[in-house]
Amino acid sequence: MLERQSANARLHALIGDAANTLSPAHIERIAAKLAEAAAPTPQPALLAQLQQMKPDRCANGSPWAENRLNAGRCNDLASASRCLHSLASVLRLLHAAQLTASEAELDQQLGACEIDGLLHAARCLADSAASALHAPTMGV
């Protein structure tokens, strides 16, 4: 009974006193339609982005689109795409650090530890991209 009163209250809020003239069957049908059409609870943007990140997606977020390849190989090539995109970002940071080192004061430069970390990250990304590109292909 509480559900019917709740549905009637929602209808009353939507259509005013006309809701009082509806039969219980109509109220139930309209309430069901309203429930179907209810917008889902919005999800935080970060979680939505994380859910969209899938192993078959390239750096630009699209799936690797080559019809002749099996799904595993498409995942490998998408992984290589992500690694190379990340490698380009790390190399841009290293290039900026190198330019800063020749022009900026010491306190405005990246430290040796940070540069070493970026170089290590670049090597790991390059190795990972090469591994994905040279992965054995099964059933291509």
Encode the chain (140 residues) as per-residue pLDDT tens digits: 445 556 667 767 777 777 778 788 887 888 788 777 776 777 788 887 777 777 778 888 888 888 888 888 888 999 999 999 999 999 999 999 999 888 888 888 888 999 999 999 999 999 999 999 997 755 44
**Cα–Cα distance between 58 and 77 in angstroms, integer?**
8
63 three-state secondary structure? strand
Q: How far is CA 58 from CA 43, 74, 97, in A?
A: 24, 9, 27
The whole-model pTM stands at: 0.59
**Cα–Cα distance between 30 and 92 in angstroms, integer?**
58
Q: Which of 28, 41, 79 is nearest to 58 (CA)?
A: 79
What are the domain boundaries of the chain? 2-37, 54-133
Residue holding tokens 């799936």? 63
